[in-house]
Amino acid sequence: MKFSTAALSAALVALAGGAAAQLSIIAPGGPDLWWIAQSDNDIDWTCKTSPYTNFTVLIANSNVNVLVAPQAFIAQQNNFDCSKLITKDQVNLTPATGYVIQLANPFNNTDVYAQSQPFEIKALGAAYPASSATPTAAITTAVSGSAAGTTTGASVTSTATGTTQSHNGAVGLFASTGIAAAALAALGFAFA
């Protein structure tokens, strides 16, 4: 089977576009997005740009006096959920700075897909971060129909019309990124 230069170029462009697809943790992380000890907290991630269908969720701290090793608290989390409420029973750690959330391969927790910025777990009774500190557009589920969004500084606002849908596994990955379809089409494969 021969491939044209144009087909190979198109495949490379499609694959390079896939390199931009990534998984990032939106919250917690940084000085403005902390957790409260012995309280319910949440995790938000960029589900629409993630190339992974699921992952293990861990918490770690670089200070071994606070946490000796990363601790898994969700064995398998679906990417399409975009956020997760963490109950005080799931994670109950000492108030300290230097914590990070890690999203890792469910079969090998040392294969970390994404890590949050360091954040603090504050003592029970502290105020939660302002809701305006967490960007919201990147954590909404997939929306069909028309959508519009604006970004201003660190805050993100989005509006959408249509119906909300969840995508399943690889179908959602390929539908949202188009990487595999474009690469295969460029190599001469056709889809019915």
Residue 128 lies in a domain: yes
Residue 76 lies in a domain: yes
Residue 85 lies in a domain: yes
Report the pLDDT value the prediction gives residue 135, as an integer from 0 to 100.
65
Return the ∠ at Cα 137 (arms to 134 and 141), rounded to 5°: 115
Contact of 38 with 88, CB cutoff 8 Å: yes
Residue 47 lies in a domain: yes
What domain count does the chain have?
1
First and final CA of the chain: distance in angstroms? 21
Residue 191 lies in a domain: no
- The whole-angstrom separation of Cα 94 and Cα 62 is 14
- Residue 100: half-sphere exposure toward Cβ, Cα within 13 Å: 17
> What predicted TM-score, i.e. pTM, was given to this entire model?
0.62
Report the pLDDT value the prediction gives residue 43, as an integer from 0 to 100.
96
- The whole-angstrom separation of Cα 45 and Cα 23 is 7
Domain region containing 23? 5-186
Q: E strand or H helix at 180, and its extent? A: helix 179-186
Nearest to 121 by CA among 93, 79, 146, 141: 93
The CATH number of the domain where 169 resides is what? 2.60.40.2840
Per-residue pLDDT of the chain (192 residues; tens, 9 = 90+): 454 444 444 444 444 444 456 999 999 999 999 999 999 999 999 999 999 999 999 999 999 999 999 999 999 999 999 999 999 999 999 999 999 999 999 999 999 999 999 999 999 999 999 887 776 544 443 333 333 333 333 333 333 333 333 333 333 333 333 333 333 344 444 433
Contact of 110 with 116, CB cutoff 8 Å: no
Report the pLDDT value the prediction gives residue 68, as an integer from 0 to 100.
95
Residue 192 lies in a domain: no
